[in-house]
Amino acid sequence: MSGTNPSLSIPVVDFGPFSSGRREDAIAVGKALYEAFRDYGFAYVSNHTVPQHILDEAFAWNARFFALPQSVKEKAPHPPYGWWHRGYSGLGREKVVQMVYDKESIGELRKVPDFKESFEIGRDGPDTKTPNIWIPDEDLPGFREFFTRFFDIGYEMEVQMLRAIAIGMGLPDEFFLEYHQRKDNQIRLLHYPPVQESLLNDGKMERIASHTDFGTMTMLFQDSVGGLEVEDIHEKGKFNPAPYIPGTIVVNIGDFLQRWSNDHLRSTLHRVRAPPLDETPQGADGTQKMTRARYSIPYFVTADHEKVIDTLPGCFSESDPKKYEPINSGEYISRRLNATY
């Protein structure tokens, strides 16, 4: 069911049996996921519900989008407020910060830019406070249509994962679904252009600084380039590579679910640094080593913004009292997003 590769430590969970129709299979998958999220906060999930050809298409669109002229990408600018997290952010625009809310400290941290560009997509519809910001369709016909569809394909995966986690935690199967009806989710297209490797190693530049995610969980689709690193569960400050494993997606717990679970599930620090080097050194003088470009597509699963959550049943007792007050999902997420812009 699940196996631990000692060099990776993040468990690989085979999701296939979850849909076998047998209750014991569903329980075994749920338990394996629960244990991975309890111990590591991360799991590689294989035999998931997103077809490979859809992922290939998603990465092809991702590359096509970022290859557009800068002036076209800037037709869909990210608004100047963190809470309206939609549209395009160019290189250095966003700085992911870890739990720092005061302006002065955020300013300090921003001096080392994140060397990435991104495009954020949420649900469409009249009842969202944060409508999507698309480039005109004629600039990349099919792009909007594809990601509108991909948003729903991701939601189907989310539904399965939320059921599995609930079963693994001994909660009613649909427990989490009741809080995840409205698809208040977000897809993020990411492109990390090639960069001189020494800048990353010297800390003059970052790809994505070490952070935890905010929401319920993140389903991360990554290309084969590498660069994702996850904090060691035994050694603070030590980061281990989480390379691409063909056919899997990386799923990790966010702060919201960690809090909801009274810290029974972990939201683990991760970052993106240099992937393995290109074999051929590049650069004007032929000596500067350039990293390869990386593309990734995290799908952030978020609870319905109007929902208030209190500690999960089964995650508190007399000897393990509730650590957190009930909180409104939307407020929690906006507060975190406002710190990144």
Tell me which of 45, 50, 166, 190 binds ligand AKG, using CB under 6 A.
190
- Which 213-242 residues touch Fe ion, going by CB under 5 A? 213
b (16+ CB within 10 A) / e for 197-233: bebbeeeebbbbbbbbbbbbbbbbbbbebbbbbbbeb
Of 114 and 213, the one with the shorter C-beta distance to Fe ion is 213
Of 220 and 333, the one with the shorter C-beta distance to ligand AKG is 220
Tell me which of 31, 85, 183, 270 binds ligand AKG, using CB under 6 A.
270
Tell me which of 62, 89, 222, 258 binds ligand AKG, using CB under 6 A.
222
Beta-carbon contacts of residue 101 (< 8 Å; ≥ 6 apart): 335, 339
- Which 298-317 residues touch ligand AKG, going by CB under 6 A? 298
Q: Which two structure tokens, joined as six digits, stand for 78?
A: 């990210």
Count of residues engaged in binding Fe ion, rule: CB under 5 A? 1
Is 184 a binder of ligand AKG (CB under 6 A)? no
**Could you give the CA distance from residue 171 to residue 166 in angstroms, rounded to a whole number?**
5
Q: Which does 297 bind (CB under 5 to 8 A by kind): Fe ion, ligand AKG, none?
A: none
**Local structure of 65: helix, strand or coil:** helix
Is 223 a binder of ligand AKG (CB under 6 A)? no
Q: Which does 49 bind (CB under 5 to 8 A by kind): Fe ion, ligand AKG, none?
A: none
Is 197 a binder of Fe ion (CB under 5 A)? no
Is 94 a binder of Fe ion (CB under 5 A)? no
Q: How far is the CB of 177 from ligand AKG (least distance, A)?
A: 24
**Could you give the CA distance from residue 144 to residue 220 in angstroms, rounded to a whole number?**
20
Q: How far is the CB of 324 from ligand AKG (least distance, A)?
A: 22
Handedness of CA 204, 224, 160, 124 (dihedral sign): positive
**Could you give the CA distance from residue 6 to residue 234 in angstroms, rounded to a whole number?**
13
Is 208 a binder of ligand AKG (CB under 6 A)? yes
Q: Cβ atoms within 10 A of the Cβ of 267, count?
A: 25
Q: Which two structure tokens, joined as six digits, stand for 24?
A: 């014991």
**Could you give the CA distance from residue 17 to residue 6 in angstroms, rounded to a whole number?**
24
Q: Which does 212 bind (CB under 5 to 8 A by kind): Fe ion, ligand AKG, none?
A: none
Q: How far is the CB of 98 from ligand AKG (least distance, A)?
A: 11
Q: What does DSSP say about strands 186-192 and 117-121: parallel, antiparallel, or unpaired?
A: antiparallel
- Which 92-131 residues touch ligand AKG, going by CB under 6 A? none
DSSP 124: -
Q: Which two structure tokens, joined as six digits, stand for 256?
A: 């919201």
Q: Cβ atoms within 10 A of the Cβ of 172, count?
A: 12
Q: Which does 30 bind (CB under 5 to 8 A by kind): Fe ion, ligand AKG, none?
A: none
DSSP 320: S
Of 14 and 114, the one with the shorter C-beta distance to ligand AKG is 114
DSSP 77: B
Q: Identify residue 18 by its one-letter amino acid code.
A: F
Contacts to ligand AKG by CB under 6 A: 188, 190, 208, 213, 220, 222, 228, 270, 272, 296, 298
Contacts to Fe ion by CB under 5 A: 213
